[in-house]
């Protein structure tokens, strides 16, 4: 048999076979050295009161709770990151990054009983107009975080996270259309880190220790119950930018047991007051469930985020029962409270 007769059809068909083969794309973080990228993020969260039951000393007090209780949180930030130095041997991790906060605003609206109260979040804009430098410390294996060409409160530096680039959402290898991978649920992780590192009242070291020892370990365990799954959808044009498309699904459900923490906090307050008070907490549990989705567009050429949006519905269930005896007066309370809400975040970029 003539080998050419077999080889020729194979050669002719090879371009078609290559076209049908799934293509692997590299979604990598690789901004140019000394380049700058301006990002804007808007965060909205709203909630309202759902089912509620409050029983005080055997009497149903649920009817005295306003049914129109609701709240809304809005935060907006615009900042510019300058990538002074990157580590090409470690996925282009920033070795030195300058972050300049251009504008920040935050407000909280609470309504109930026909009344509404809107307040700016205290000190939320404290970093507006200031610059932060992240410098990788190889010996400590962490970033040294300092103010850059300006001054500010040191406690604000403790809340800063270097990764506001969505780098944690990227796959660890090249992916083809339809490939999936899991990452940490980012906004919960960042919220936890900010709370752990933030100022919780230096004048109350005992209460700070209780939160650090009892609350945060539970929150870290709760975080394990939530997962974010990413799926690569291929590439598309986004305002002239060749963008890799990452679909995001967020889901999870878990509980926090506040019983031990509340007992410690109350005992601390009683010891400071000098009053004779006895109490017993039967349960103090908060359940959180969440489901949502989103999309990240990744600038394939420039190697950084182009835009992102995520949204989720959540439900919080609080169960509490306790009794308190003060001055011979005993109060017993049982409560079941449900809150339902929505969370959304959008990010855009401008070179």
Per-position pLDDT tens, the chain of length 351: 444 444 444 334 444 433 444 457 889 999 999 999 999 999 999 999 999 999 999 999 998 888 889 999 999 999 999 999 999 999 999 999 999 999 999 999 999 888 888 888 888 899 999 999 999 999 999 999 999 999 999 988 988 889 999 998 999 999 999 999 998 765 566 656 655 555 544 446 666 676 677 777 777 777 788 889 999 999 999 999 999 999 999 999 999 888 888 888 888 888 877 778 888 999 999 999 999 999 999 999 999 999 999 999 999 999 999 999 887 788 999 999 999 999 999 999 997
The pLDDT, as a whole number, for residue 144 is 96
Bridge partners of 283, per DSSP, are: 321
The pLDDT, as a whole number, for residue 123 is 84
Whether the Cβ atoms of residue 107 and residue 42 lie closer than 8 Å to each other: no
Bridge partners of 110, per DSSP, are: 71, 117
The pLDDT, as a whole number, for residue 20 is 44
Closest CA relative to residue 222, chosen from 272, 273, 289, 284: 289
The pLDDT, as a whole number, for residue 204 is 60
The pLDDT, as a whole number, for residue 115 is 82
The pLDDT, as a whole number, for residue 188 is 62
Q: What is the dihedral of CA 189, 137, 91, 300, to 10 degrees?
A: 70
Q: Is the pTM of this model over 0.85?
A: no
Closest CA relative to residue 117, chosen from 72, 77, 154, 153: 72
């Amino acid at each position: 048999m003539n080998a050419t007769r077999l080889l020729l059809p194979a050669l002719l068909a090879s371009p078609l076979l290559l076209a049908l083969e799934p293509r692997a794309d590299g979604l990598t973080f690789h901004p140019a050295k000394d380049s700058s990228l301006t990002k804007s993020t808007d965060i909205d969260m709203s909630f309202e009161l759902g089912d509620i039951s409050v029983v005080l000393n055997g009497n149903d007090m649920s009817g005295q709770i306003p049914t129109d209780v609701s709240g809304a949180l809005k935060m907006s930030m615009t900042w510019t990151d300058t990538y002074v130095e990157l580590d090409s041997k470690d996925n282009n991790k920033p070795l030195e990054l300058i972050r300049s906060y251009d504008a920040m605003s935050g407000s909280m609206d609470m309504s109930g009983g026909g009344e509404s109260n809107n307040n700016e979040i205290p000190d939320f804009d404290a970093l507006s107009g200031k610059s932060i430098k992240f410098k990788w410390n190889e010996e400590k294996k962490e970033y040294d975080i300092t103010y850059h060409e300006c001054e500010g409160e040191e406690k604000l530096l403790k809340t800063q996270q270097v990764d506001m680039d969505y780098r944690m959402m990227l796959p660890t290898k090249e992916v083809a259309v339809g490939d999936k991978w899991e990452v940490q649920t980012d906004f919960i992780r960042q919220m936890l880190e900010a709370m752990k590192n933030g100022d919780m009242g230096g004048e109350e070291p005992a209460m700070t220790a209780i939160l650090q020892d009892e609350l945060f370990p539970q929150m870290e365990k709760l975080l394990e119950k939530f997962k974010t799954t990413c799926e690569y959808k291929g590439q598309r044009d986004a305002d002239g930018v060749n963008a890799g498309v990452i679909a995001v699904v967020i889901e999870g459900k878990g509980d926090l047991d506040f019983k031990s923490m509340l007992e410690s906090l109350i005992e601390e307050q009683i010891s400071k007051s000098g009053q004779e008070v006895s109490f017993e907490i039967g349960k103090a549990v908060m359940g959180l469930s969440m489901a949502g989705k989103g999309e990240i567009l990744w600038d394939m050429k420039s190697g950084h985020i182009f835009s992102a949006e995520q949204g989720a519905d959540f439900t919080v269930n609080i169960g509490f029962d306790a009794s308190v005896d003060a001055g011979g007066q005993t109060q017993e309370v049982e409560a079941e409270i449900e809150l339902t809400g929505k969370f959304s975040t959008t990010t855009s970029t401008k070179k």
